[in-house]
Amino acid sequence: MKFTAGSPKGETVAKFIFEGDFDGIRDDAKAHNFSGKEREVMVAHPAKGPKRLIVAGLGKKEKFTTEKLRRAAAQVGQRARLLDLAEISIVPPAGDRSENSQAVVEGVALALYEYKRYKSKPGRPLKLQTVRVDGDADAVRRGEIYARATCVTRDLVNDPPSVCTPRYLADAAKKVAKKGISIKVFDEKQIKKMGMGGLEGVAIGSTEPCRFVHMTYKAPGARRTVAIVGKGITFDSGGLCLKPADGMLNMKDDMSGAGAVIGIFSALAELKPRVNVHGIFAATENMPGGSAYKTRDILRAMNGKTMEIINTDAEGRLILADALSYASRLKPSEIIDMATLTGACVVALGPDMSAIFTANEKLQKGILAAARAEGEKVWPMPLENEYLDMIKSDVADMKNSGGRWGGAITAALFLREFVEEGIPWAHLDIAGPALVENDRPYRPAGGTGVMVRTLLRYLEEQ
């Protein structure tokens, strides 16, 4: 499917209207009981103009947002699929030409994503080949790149866990390391040599070897460097603190942070943001093998700090301890990590919202603004220093779990211990929205690719 910018042409045109605004389609709206509310869509056959007109409602004009447009565009794309259309022209509403054009492209492209790799009967193929958007050409291109990068991550999250192993994830990173991007992949021997005791400890119970990946994008004349770190647990059984069956069911998504790093880097060479970017992730399984790490074991992270194991199911923070230590040695302008880190975050914020933990107001403001523009929900959470007592250890520098209460906060405080003092840092807990079990407007069930578009926008705006 290809998106292009251009004036409407062809047999089918799609447009958007606000509630009660029936200029030119009043009779059709009445016949279809269409009022222009959000989530309403109709197909009309006007006497003049195109053969077919798809109309999607945006709700009340005074409450318009680009996210509502993105969702309405998703409905347009889904209706085009049902009609077996080969091409369609879409006219965004008046307003911010660039933002509206990008939102339309993202809505259509993301709504039409399908994961069919293991379907013996994949169903009716998508016939839609050309989507022409009457809008800003650069924004159309950007929207297509953002959506494509998101779908790279969705594919990785949706892959079966026995396929998407640490080595597979590292190979996926190699595939997106195009012109302008370099990559280093460290194997288990190199990981041991670098002193990454957290990653090595979690990996020891699995027959699958772990991997550590460092990708680099360099922008000509860049004045800043951003390090993006992802959690890459390709399957989380809980280790010896074994999860119940229901709790283990979707644990193939525990590499969503690493998958998002790969998705972001798949787009950087095309977008060319004016900032240097490091993409870093540690990848391993967390399995209960005979050699698995145990409760009350003590692991030493790359920066020398020691971690007492209270719960082997609090493993993500152990591999991130090494990844953040490694990122700190690069002396970036700032570090942002993404991780499906805690169930406590899902309890606090539900399945649709990510949490951000940071003490840096500028960094928080920038990420939140990018998230709002991309329709991804992110909520600020506190780094409560008094909760450090919950992860205080009698035999090591800290415990890897502070218990049930404030679990997302104590996990974030744990991570902070591995970021070099003075480097602005933000932690994004994406445990809720990384994988959804039901279809949403432009998020089919499965991996969502959450935070890919938000961080691409953030990087472009630096």
What is each CA distance from 198 to 125, 260, 413, in whole angstroms?
45, 21, 16
pLDDT value, residue 317: 98
Q: State CA 287 to chain mean position distance.
A: 25
**What is the 8-class DSSP label of residue 62?**
G
Cα gap 124→121, rounded to integer Å = 9
pLDDT value, residue 46: 86
Q: HEC string of 142-191?
A: HHHHHHHHHHHHHHHHHCCCCCCCHHHHHHHHHHHCCCCEEEEEECHHHH
- What average pLDDT does the chain have? 96
Cα gap 453→450, rounded to integer Å = 7
For the chain, domains (ranges, CATH) are 2-134 (3.40.220.10), 145-460 (3.40.630.10)
Q: Radius of gyration over alpha carbons of the chain, in Å?
A: 23
Q: With left for phi above 0 and alpha for psi between -120 and 50, is residue 49 left, alpha or beta?
A: left
What's the one-letter identity of residue 65? T
Assess contact for 11 and 54: CB atoms under 8 A.
no
Averaged pLDDT for residues 395-419: 97
Determine the 3-state secondary structure of 89 from DSSP: strand
What is each CA distance from 286 to 66, 207, 340, 410, in whole angstroms?
40, 10, 14, 21
Cα gap 397→300, rounded to integer Å = 9
Task: Answer yes or no: 300 catalytic.
Answer: no
Question: Given a cut of 90, is residue 22 above it in pLDDT?
Answer: no
Question: Given a cut of 90, is residue 180 above it in pLDDT?
Answer: no
List, in order, residues 6 or more apart from 167 with CB less than 8 Å away: 208, 209, 211
Averaged pLDDT for residues 367-390: 98
Q: Tell me: the pLDDT tens digits for 297-353?
A: 999 999 999 999 999 999 999 999 999 999 999 999 999 999 999 999 999 999 999
Task: Answer yes or no: 317 catalytic.
Answer: yes
Which residue among 15, 71, 317, 453 is the active-site one? 317
Question: Given a cut of 90, is residue 25 above it in pLDDT?
Answer: no
Averaged pLDDT for residues 372-385: 98
Please give the model's pTM, rounded to 2 decimal places.
0.97
Question: Given a cut of 90, is residue 178 above it in pLDDT?
Answer: no
Which residue among 81, 167, 218, 243 is the active-site one? 243
Q: HEC string of 225-269?
A: EEEEEEEEEEEECCCCCCCCHHHHCCHHHHHHHHHHHHHHHHHHH
Question: Given a cut of 90, is residue 121 above it in pLDDT?
Answer: no
Question: Given a cut of 90, is residue 26 above it in pLDDT?
Answer: no
Q: What percent of the chain has pLDDT over 70?
A: 100
Cα gap 168→283, rounded to integer Å = 10
Backbone dihedral angles phi then psi of residue 383, each to the nearest 5 degrees: -100, 85
Averaged pLDDT for residues 25-39: 91
Question: Given a cut of 80, is residue 158 above it in pLDDT?
Answer: yes
pLDDT value, residue 313: 98
Please count the residues of the chain.
462
Averaged pLDDT for residues 17-45: 90
The torsion of the CA quartet 364, 366, 426, 215, rounded to 10 degrees, works out to: 180
Cα gap 304→158, rounded to integer Å = 35
